[in-house]
Structure 1
Amino acid sequence: MKGEALNVVRQPLTRTLIFETGIAIADAEGIDAVTMRRVAATLNVQAMSLYNHVSNKRDLLDGMAAHLLATLAVPDIAAMSWRELAGRVGRAYRQLGLDHPALYPYVLERPFGSPESLATLDAFLNVFREAGFSPTGNYLAFSLFTGFVEGFTLDEITRRNQRSLRDPVKNPLLSEDVPANYQAVYEVFGAGAVHDDVAFERCLELVLDAMEALMAPEHPE
């Protein structure tokens, strides 16, 4: 039965334990399976016990997203070049999405509201500032960088989900008509498509080059 594989030995209830349990459920069965009652059952406690630690389901989902974001912490940020830092963060952010596809949209919509998240963002942006990016250039570079990483990862998650479908009705790319009638589609997304890892690395380098161009003086305030 669903949920049995996730049952754990009862241990002191904490927000961290609750969030980790919710993440495990989402990874195994999808975001719709994450409820206060289900998390409580998995932890072998009464549902009301969770309310001593989380206010409601929204608080639960926010906490799960924040817990995942905390795993992206990069040590010694100030010691890195901006390009090295962006590459490392971009790859980690993509991997987080691939490891936790059901929760990735919640991670993306979470605002930088806590002191911890603001401190992390400030340290990240300060590396670019010290490298010579103006405030406007820093904003444009950050927008370009996050737009690429988040968009690529969301698209990759969607395509992976589609490729996992073996029914030609649900996955049109499996139709025998595609190679003959939709040659460009088949060339780009069919059997000979560029591997996602290769595509990400190539595109990331192009994005980093474009970000570097934003340091030039022809991008005034």
Structure 2
Amino acid sequence: MSRNSSREEWAAQIAALDSAPARKEPITVGRIVGTALALVEAEGFDALTMRRVAAALGTGPASLYAHVRNKADLDDLLIGMLSREIALPPPDGSRWRSQVVDVCSQLRDQFLRYPGIARAALNAPPTNLDTLRLTEGLLALFVAGGVSVQKAAWAIDALLLYVSAYTFESSLRGSVDRDEMLARLEMLPAGRFPLVVAHASSLNSGEGHERFEFALRLMLDGLG
């Protein structure tokens, strides 16, 4: 065989490699959850369907069901993934309240990053181990603070519900124009709404997440 023929065969082999279809990356639970979160971050929770996730992965919905049972299962996995990102502090009985507020604030920020995803947390009781890790960590903080287990259990439920409600409402309302809201309150008939008109600025006050932290501390102070 001539040297030219060898070169031609080598070139043909290289060309065949270039034209060969790329191997598809296998579908995994991690890829499904990551793709779902990216979709929610870009378009909101309402856009999340098994079909949309499958399309983004370049496959059909049936391929997803081999790894995720249904949409409710996917919702649980999403909240588990976000809960995994929460840093749980070592329990400190001298500052357990501020530690609880910090954990709840971290979860709030995770939910706010993915508009409407709080609905996934409200859809069903948590079964994901990463989500239950959050419950375990909060319970440890309450116990370190001398709160009875029964009170702590109900407080955790109330706090997580509040985080979900707060972030879900934020996803519905978007950014609030406080000047416009204040103007509307001040325009109410003072005869029917004397207190609202007189205290419109107080009703409309609060920067950032001040109201969020106020509500959390109010609940925590009630535990004694």
Same fold by TM-score, threshold 0.5 exceeded? yes
Determine if contact 2:29/2:68 at 8 Å carries over to the other structure: yes
Counterpart-to-counterpart distance in 1, 2:98 and 2:185: 41
Matched, 1:206 2:213: no
Matched ranges for 1:168-207 at <5 A: 179-181=186-188, 184=196, 187=200, 193-207=205-219
Aligned partner of 1:94 in structure 2 is: 108
Which stretch of the first structure deviates more once superposed, 104-113 or 75-84?
75-84
Q: Of 20, 24, 49, which residue of structure 1 is paired with 2:63?
A: 49
Determine if contact 1:65/1:107 at 8 Å carries over to the other structure: yes
Relative distance call for 1:130 and 1:202 in structure 2 (3 A) is closer
Matched, 1:77 2:90: yes
Matched-pair identity in %:
28
Aligned partner of 1:28 in structure 2 is: 42
Determine if contact 2:118/2:167 at 8 Å carries over to the other structure: no
Aligned partner of 2:144 in structure 1 is: 130
Task: Report the secondary structure of 1:181's partner residue.
Answer: coil
Relative distance call for 1:188 and 1:104 in structure 2 (3 A) is farther
RMSD: 3.4
Counterpart-to-counterpart distance in 1, 2:76 and 2:161: 21
Aligned partner of 2:5 in structure 1 is: none
Task: Report the secondary structure of 2:174's partner residue.
Answer: helix
Return the offset for 1:40: 1.9
Which stretch of the first structure deviates more once superposed, 199-208 or 75-84?
75-84
Counterpart-to-counterpart distance in 2, 1:130 and 1:65: 26
Determine if contact 2:76/2:127 at 8 Å carries over to the other structure: no
Relative distance call for 1:153 and 1:182 in structure 2 (3 A) is farther
Which stretch of the first structure deviates more once superposed, 97-106 or 74-83?
74-83
Matched, 1:157 2:164: no
Relative distance call for 1:194 and 1:60 in structure 2 (3 A) is same
Matched, 1:66 2:76: no
Return the offset for 1:94: 1.5
Counterpart-to-counterpart distance in 2, 1:46 and 1:155: 33
Q: How many residues align?
A: 193
CA-to-aligned-CA distance 1:50-74 (integer Å, 9 cap, x gap): 22222233333332232222222x2
Give the alignment's TM-score, normalised by structure 1.
0.68
Aligned partner of 2:8 in structure 1 is: none
Counterpart-to-counterpart distance in 1, 2:119 and 2:28: 24
CA-to-aligned-CA distance 1:116-153 (integer Å, 9 cap, x gap): 44344234213322332223332343345334433433
Structure 2, unaligned runs of 5 or more: 1-22, 191-195
The one-letter amino acid of 2:221's match is D
Return the offset for 1:105: 1.3
Relative distance call for 1:64 and 1:189 in structure 2 (3 A) is farther
Who wins on radius of gyration, i.e. which is larger?
2
Counterpart-to-counterpart distance in 2, 1:202 and 1:64: 28
Counterpart-to-counterpart distance in 2, 1:53 and 1:151: 30
The one-letter amino acid of 1:205's match is R
Structure 1, unaligned runs of 5 or more: 1-8, 165-172, 214-221
Relative distance call for 1:63 and 1:187 in structure 2 (3 A) is same
Task: Report the secondary structure of 2:30's partner residue.
Answer: helix
